[in-house]
Structure 1
Amino acid sequence: MAKVLVVDDAAFMRMMIKDILTKNGYEVVGEAADGQQALEQYKELKPDLVTMDITMPEMDGITALKKIREIDPEAKVIMCSAMGQQAMVIDAIQAGAKDFIVKPFQADRVLEAIKKVLG
C-alpha cells in the first residue's frame, strides 16, 4: 500500500484528498499545513508520494518541493494548484514535480495522476 503525505493549508482540501486516497487503497501517513511542516514530515515519514499545494504560508509548495528533492532526489511530488496558476505549475514541473492536479479535485483525475506517478 502506497504511503502518501498530504500538504495543503486548507484543512477541508486535505480532507477531500484524504477521502479520495483512503477509499482507493492508499494510506495517508501524514498531513501538513505548510511547506516547513511538509519538509519535516517528509524526513520523518518517508512517504511514497506527496500531494503538495502551491500557495501556502511559511513556505510555499515550490520551495518545499525543491527542499524535499534536495534530501531525496527520487521524491515523487504531485502539485495541487488552483485555476489560473499555470506559470507556477510550470515552475513546479521544472523544479521536479511529477504531475499536477487542479482544484477543485476530481477523484478520477487525482487517482490517474497518482497511478501514473507511482508507476
Structure 2
Amino acid sequence: MVSTDEILNASILIVDDQDANVQLLEQMLRETGYQCITSTTDPHAVCALHRKNRYDLILLDLQMPGMDGFQVMEGLKENAADDYIPVLVITAQPDHKLRALQAGAKDFISKPFDLVEARTRIHNMLEVRLLYKKLENYSKVLEQTVQERTAELRESEARYRSLTELASDWYWEQDENMNFTKVSGPVLEMLGIRVGALDGEADSDQDAGWNAEERAFLQATIAARQPFLDFIYSRVNADGTQQQFRVSGEPMFTQSCRFIGYRGIGVEITTENIEHNNATASDVHTR
C-alpha cells in the first residue's frame, strides 16, 4: 500500500517550454497538496536533472522547439537506472497519444487541461510508481537477506566442520538401511564392519576384544532409533592393552518424520585419560 502522504511527497518534474503552462501545472499541484515540485522550460536539461534527482513523475510536453518530448524520452531510456521511465506526456495532438505510449510514456494529459482528469492521472501514476519502487526495494532487501543468510550458513557449516575435526577422531553417517554413506576415521573397525565393504557385514576378526555387553547396548540403541551421548566403548587388544572410545550419535529424520539414517562422532580416549579415570574411581571407592 502507498499512503496519501507518500504520494503528496513524491518528487515531480514539469517540462514545458511555455511558462504559462508550467505555472498552471505548478499551481494545480500545490493546491492539491504536492510538496516536491521542480520545473524547467529547457528540454535539454531533463536527462541531467533526472539522473541527479530520480523523479517519481515527469510531466513532459511533447511539442517543444529544439528538442521535442519524443527525443527527451529517448534520452531518458538511454540513461535509465531501471526499466521504469516515469513519464506522463502533455499533448494537444490526439494522434501523438499512441505514439507517446509506444515510445515509453506511461500515460498522457490532453491540452487544454481538464484539471480533475489531470489530478486523477497524476495521482494514479504516482501510486503505481511508488508501488514499483517499493517492490524493487523489497527485491533488493530480499536478495541481500538471502546472501547474508547464505554466508551465515556457510560460516556455521565451517565452524561445525572445524569443531567436529577438533572434537572427534571420526565421523560417520548411515542411510535408512544402515549402509554407511560417509565415513572418516576408524569407525568401521570400531563397529565391527569390514573396512571397504560398507555393506554392514560383521567381520569376526574385528569382533575380537570388544566388550560384548557394550556393543550389544550400542547396536540396540541404534536399532531403536535412539540418540546416545558420550557412550564409552572399550576393547582389549591382543597384546593386552586396553582402548576406550567415547561415541555420540543421533538418528536423522525428514520433516515428515521418516527415518533416513544415522550419524555420529567419536574420539579415542587416551591412555592418560583412562588411567586418570581409573585413579579417580579408585580414590572415590577408597573414600
TM-score, length basis structure 1? 0.89
What code does the residue aligned with 2:116 have?
D
Any runs of at least 4 consecutive aligned residues in structure 1 with deviations exceeding 3 A, and if so which? none
Which fold has the larger relative contact order, with Cα–Cα distance below 8 Å and residues 6 or more apart in sequence? 1
Kindly report the root-mean-square deviation, in angstroms, between the aligned alpha carbons of the 2 structures.
1.4
Contact conserved, 1:4 with 1:51, CA < 8 A, in 2? Answer: yes
Distance 2:42 2:100 in 1: 16
Find the residue that maps to 2:33 and give its secondary structure.
coil
Distance 1:78 1:34 in 2: 17
Q: CA deviation at 1:34?
A: 3.3
Identity %: 30
Show the counterpart of 1:108: 116
Show the counterpart of 1:4: 12
Alignment match of 1:58 (pick from 66, 90, 95):
66
Alignment match of 2:51 (pick from 19, 36, 43):
43
TM-score, length basis structure 2? 0.39
* Structure 1 range deviating more: 13-22 or 24-33: 24-33
What code does the residue aligned with 1:33 have?
T
Show the counterpart of 1:91: 99
- Structure 2, unmatched stretches of 5+, are 1-8, 128-287
* Structure 1 range deviating more: 73-82 or 29-38: 29-38
Distance 2:15 2:36 in 1: 11
Deviations 1:17-39 (A, max 9, x none): 01111111223442121321222
- Structure 1, unmatched stretches of 5+, are none
Length, aligned pairs only = 117
Asked if residue 23 in structure 1 is aligned to residue 31 in structure 2, the reply is: yes
